[in-house]
């Protein structure tokens, strides 16, 4: 059940106290003996809050030093590209990290004039540099993604340009916590002013090369010729300057909504739980843009670091993320002249409609656990044509099937929607409606529920032996698995499949909740029965 204020403007009383938040970042010190105050990398970096002593200067300094140690051990000797989003703690965290990175002799590229840099632009810059051969570049993005204004986050992208794999983040996490436990004695650090004077730090234009190359991956000319009336809402995030440059470069008829930075994000509408969250896949958070749907042929939004997308059409409003993934996959593999061996990447909690579409296209599906990191190698090596996850994150290859980004790119996914409308005459929602007629209607839902650490651990280890029933939602269970079919990696939970539906249960890696995903190709009632059965399984643990 949604909060009574969901979808409504943020009351001034609910806005973050930015001076208090930044002061807490510098003044509060984490206690490494307390689990909540330790460095902990989830599916995409370390996230936390300064006021709760889970994202403070000591965390950032320790992570930065641990990363420097990791680079030295792995022989990563090229420049490091650093991007930040518009959360209040991102700039202080960047300043802290710069002091450590420069002290450790790393060549560092940051945006000109302190500008903000989306996640996909950092991935793009890493890959463009590494094309040359020789030294290897990598990167950092300081962002908590779509999370509330009080949050901070730190994410590492190795030389393949994508989110770091678990073996890498585990090493960095362990080393960072050891540094904090030892009283920060192992940290090399210089004054911020001295760091800025170092020849190792250089300003870099992340935006222009990325925007100029967009015509290699999206038919920008078709969008321009179509004269579509477009709207882009960066939700006050790091994509503001990118969309301005896109308009300047390609001459699109595209309005930019909320084209300013406000660390309180006061222009937002509240999310389903009454919190401020820059979630472009949430109809409550996107309520302001959805209200404008009739004013545009197509509108789209991105979260604060622009790695996610939300597509708004005149009739449908905000598309379900799974629906847009399906429409995008169908379009790309129909209209791109791609090799026949390119695969479609999906997370195991994404809609099975993707599997039906892939089968009709004669394409193989590569199914992986939750987390975009599982797709990076496939995109980098060029055997995944498209990779997407149910939480509105995706990327794909260029027209010539060369790699674009190996991290999620909400900007190209937004522009692709405009290309689809320009080329086919149908918006993505209309395309998905046609897919439903061909493959059946899918009923999909995800629910979150509170979970203790004990329950989360039990759920993480749940397997076939703990499930006594032979049926689920009135149908015989056909398969129960704990590893993904694509790469054999643990899913950190369990997925149960029947003839006309499935459920998946897994604990959150960053919050005290567990998640149940379910999908039915029969009815809303069948979906509810699947969800009820899944909740009963969890309750029995």
CATH number of residue 178's parent domain: 3.40.120.10
Do 322 and 224 lie in a common domain?
yes
Residue at 158 is within a domain: yes
Residue at 8 is within a domain: no
Closest to 21 in 3D by CA, of 153, 149, 142, 145: 149
Do 143 and 250 lie in a common domain?
no
Do 403 and 452 lie in a common domain?
no
- Does pLDDT of 286 surpass 90? yes
Q: What's the pLDDT at 510?
A: 63
Residue at 457 is within a domain: yes
Say what the pTM is: 0.96
In this structure, the number of other CB atoms found within 10 A of the CB of residue 437 comes to: 9
Do 85 and 129 lie in a common domain?
yes
Do 62 and 100 lie in a common domain?
yes
DSSP 55-124: S-HHHHHHHHHHHHHHHHHHT--S-EEEEE-SSTTHHHHHHHHHHHHHHTT--EEEEGGG----HHHHHH
Do 253 and 392 lie in a common domain?
yes
> pLDDT per residue over 418-455, tens digit each?
999 999 999 999 999 999 999 999 999 999 888 888 88
Do 433 and 452 lie in a common domain?
no
Domain boundary among 186, 208, 230: 208
Do 105 and 193 lie in a common domain?
yes
> pLDDT per residue over 13-72, tens digit each?
999 999 999 999 999 999 999 999 999 998 779 999 999 999 999 999 999 999 999 999
Residue at 511 is within a domain: yes
Share of the chain above pLDDT 90, in %: 91
In this structure, the number of other CB atoms found within 10 A of the CB of residue 384 comes to: 23
Any idea what the Cα angle at residue 465 is, between residues 459 and 471, rounded to 5°? 90
- Assign residue 504 the CATH number of its domain: 3.30.310.50
Residue at 404 is within a domain: yes
Residue at 6 is within a domain: no
Q: How far apart are CA 155 and CA 268, in angstroms?
A: 25
Residue at 386 is within a domain: yes
Residue at 466 is within a domain: yes
Do 231 and 318 lie in a common domain?
yes
Q: How far is CA 220 from CA 211, 324, 477, in A?
A: 10, 19, 47
Do 141 and 156 lie in a common domain?
yes
Domain boundary among 187, 208, 229: 208
Q: How far apart are CA 162 and CA 423, in angstroms?
A: 30
Do 241 and 140 lie in a common domain?
no
Count structural domains, the chain.
Answer: 3
Residue-averaged pLDDT of the chain: 96
Domain carrying residue 233: 211-439
Active site residue 145: yes
Domain boundary among 208, 230, 250: 208
Mean pLDDT of 332-341: 96
Element (H, E) at 298: strand 298-302
- Does pLDDT of 214 surpass 80? yes
Share of the chain above pLDDT 70, in %: 99
> pLDDT per residue over 352-388, tens digit each?
999 999 999 999 999 999 999 999 999 999 999 999 9
The residue from 44, 96, 136, 145 that is catalytic is 145
Q: Is the dihedral of CA 505, 540, 272, 46 positive or negative?
A: negative
Q: How far is CA 389 from CA 58, 351, 375, in A?
A: 33, 9, 10
Do 434 and 448 lie in a common domain?
no
């Amino acid at each position: 059940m949604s909060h009574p204020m969901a979808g409504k403007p943020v009351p001034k009383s609910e806005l973050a106290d930015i001076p208090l938040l930044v002061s807490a970042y510098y003044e509060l010190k984490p206690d490494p003996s307390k689990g909540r105050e330790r460095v902990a990398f989830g599916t995409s970096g370390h996230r936390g809050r300064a006021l709760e002593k889970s994202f403070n200067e000591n965390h950032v300094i320790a992570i930065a030093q641990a990363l420097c140690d990791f680079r030295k051990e792995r022989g990563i000797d090229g420049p490091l590209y650093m991007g930040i989003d518009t959360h209040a703690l991102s700039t202080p965290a960047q300043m802290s990290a710069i002091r450590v990175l420069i002290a450790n002799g790393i060549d560092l590229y940051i945006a000109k004039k302190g500008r903000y840099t989306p996640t996909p632009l950092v991935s793009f810059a890493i890959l463009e540099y590494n094309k040359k051969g020789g030294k290897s570049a990598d990167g950092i993005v300081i962002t908590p993604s779509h999370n509330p204004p009080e949050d901070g986050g730190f994410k590492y992208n190795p030389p393949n340009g994508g989110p770091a794999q678990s073996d890498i983040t585990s090493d960095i996490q362990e080393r960072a916590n050891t540094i904090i436990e030892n009283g920060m004695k192992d940290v090399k650090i210089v004054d911020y002013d001295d760091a800025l004077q170092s020849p190792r730090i250089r300003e870099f234009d992340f935006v222009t090369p990325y925007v100029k190359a967009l015509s290699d991956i999206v038919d920008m000319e078709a969008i321009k010729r179509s004269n579509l009336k477009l709207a882009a809402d960066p939700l006050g995030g790091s994509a503001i300057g990118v969309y301005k440059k896109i308009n300047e470069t390609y001459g699109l008829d595209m309005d930019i909504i909320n084209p300013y930075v406000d660390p309180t994000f006061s222009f937002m509408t509240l999310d389903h739980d009454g919190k401020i969250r820059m979630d472009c896949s949430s109809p409550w958070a996107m309520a302001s843009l959805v209200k404008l749907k009739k004013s545009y042929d197509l509108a789209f939004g991105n979260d604060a670091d622009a790695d996610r997308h939300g597509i708004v059409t005149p009739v449908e409003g905000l598309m379900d993320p799974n629906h847009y993934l399906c429409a995008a996959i169908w379009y790309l593999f129909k209209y791109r002249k791609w090799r026949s061996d390119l695969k479609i990447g999906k997370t195991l909690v994404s809609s099975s409609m993707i599997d039906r579409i892939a089968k009709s296209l004669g394409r193989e599906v590569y199914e992986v656990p939750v987390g975009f990191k599982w797709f990076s190698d496939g995109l980098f090596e060029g055997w995944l044509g498209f990779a997407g996850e149910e939480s509105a994150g995706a990327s794909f290859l260029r027209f010539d099937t060369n790699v674009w980004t190996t991290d999620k790119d909400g900007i190209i996914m937004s522009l692709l929607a405009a290309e689809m409308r320009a080329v086919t005459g149908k918006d993505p929602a209309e395309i998905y409606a046609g897919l439903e007629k061909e493959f059946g209607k899918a009923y999909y839902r995800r629910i979150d529920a509170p979970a203790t650490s004990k329950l989360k651990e039990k759920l993480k280890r749940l397997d076939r032996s703990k499930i006594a029933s032979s049926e689920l939602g009135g149908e015989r269970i056909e398969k129960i698995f704990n590893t993904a079919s694509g790469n054999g990696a643990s899913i950190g939970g369990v997925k149960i499949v029947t003839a006309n539906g499935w459920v998946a249960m897994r604990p959150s890696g960053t919050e005290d909740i567990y998640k149940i995903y379910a999908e039915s190709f029969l009815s809303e009632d069948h979906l509810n029965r699947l969800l009820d059965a899944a909740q009963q399984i969890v309750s029995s643990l």
